[in-house]
Copies of this chain bind each other. A is one copy, B any other.
Amino acid sequence: MAEETVTGRAVGPWATMKDVAALAGVSLKTVSRVVNNEPTVNEDLVARVRLAATQLHYQPNMSASALRRLDGRSSTIAVLLEDLSNPFSATIYRSVEEVAISRGVVVVGGSFDEDPSRELVLTAAMSRHRVDGFIIAPASRDHGYLAREQRAGTPFVFVDRPPVNLEADSVLSDSRDGVTRATRHLLRFGHRRISFLGDLTTIYTSEERVNGFRDAMREANVTVDPRLVHLDLRTAPAAERVVGHLLDSADPPSAIFAGQNLVLMGALRAIRSRHLQHRVAIVGFDDLIMADLLEPAVTVVAQNPERIAREAATMLFRRLDGDTSPVRRVVVESQLVIRGSGEIPAPGDR
């Protein structure tokens, strides 16, 4: 055991292949072969090496391994999302982890918080660690800077947002269509004054969602009152304030579409504090835990983060396994979950 080496390094009791080889009475290279399950080793030797390895609690050093291997693989992938503490990102992370662990790959996570400079910092850090691949929901709107790394052989799979200035696989939700369908749903209940509340317009999905809303309104020949459209809302309190003003105004909306989780919560608070929850219809984007427990239960457009993640992970690993087929864009359907709050009819309506 290499308690102390020539250089005087106090590495602690990490056994190396050399130690295992010495104990098993074989050459270092034979240990390497056994560790990598190469089939050309005599089974007696395999057994001896295995025994020595367990006795010494040998754990291969992945840094050394990654350094020396021809493919440079580190058995590590990066999953970089908006915010690992929000349920959507967390579910994606977790589902990717599931696929990764089954392949002996560990997952390095990071949160961008919609900050493009953080995206740069984190992707660079991951590059330094030579992760084998990326699953990324970018904050920036230009991903050309990743081309270099991509050419170096690192695959990228974009989730939730498409790559810009980069040819890469992506797995997206049908946000636009999802919102269109939800808006049609509200229109069907007689609503004409529908308020749309959206997240940062810099975010791709956020843009898609407003567009989906406008699509449905145009299709139904309902003009959108610009006073009812509020974008760049990021927090529940901000949304609560805005919705409060809307509801207190002379010509309030009869229905609200909340384009994001926190915005939905703020809107719900504003509605409830005015006891309007059975009068004003509301539909949200992204499912909320406990949405079914509210009174009325909340109708939402639910995305499918598990499926997005599974698709993305399989695509990534396929690429790592050598798939060189053309870039793919997979769209995962979102689903309108009808629970009550979106089925409140407009005042004059039947």
Contacts and interface: CB of A to CB of B under 8 A. Distances in A.
Contact of A9 (B14, B70, B152, B269): B70
B60 A63 contact: no
Contact of A151 (B13, B87, B93, B94): B13
A106 B64 CA distance: 19
A315 interface: no
Interface string A60-88: 11111011001010111000000111110
A94 B84 contact: yes
A111 B87 contact: no
Interface in A292-321: 292-295
A200 interface: no
B61 A11 contact: no
A13 B130 contact: no
Nearest to A121: B101
Interface in A43-64: 57, 59-64
Size class of A's contact patch? 35 or more
A12 to B, nearest CB: 3
Contact of A72 (B11, B107, B108): B11
Contact of A289 (B64, B84, B95, B265): B265
Interface in A108-130: 108-111, 121-122, 124-130
A250 interface: no
A132 to B, nearest CB: 12
A83 B97 CA distance: 10
A181 B87 CA distance: 30
A104 interface: yes
B14 A152 contact: yes
A140 to B, nearest CB: 17
A20 to B, nearest CB: 14
A147 to B, nearest CB: 10
B63 A67 contact: yes
Nearest to A289: B289
Contacts of A76: 108, 129
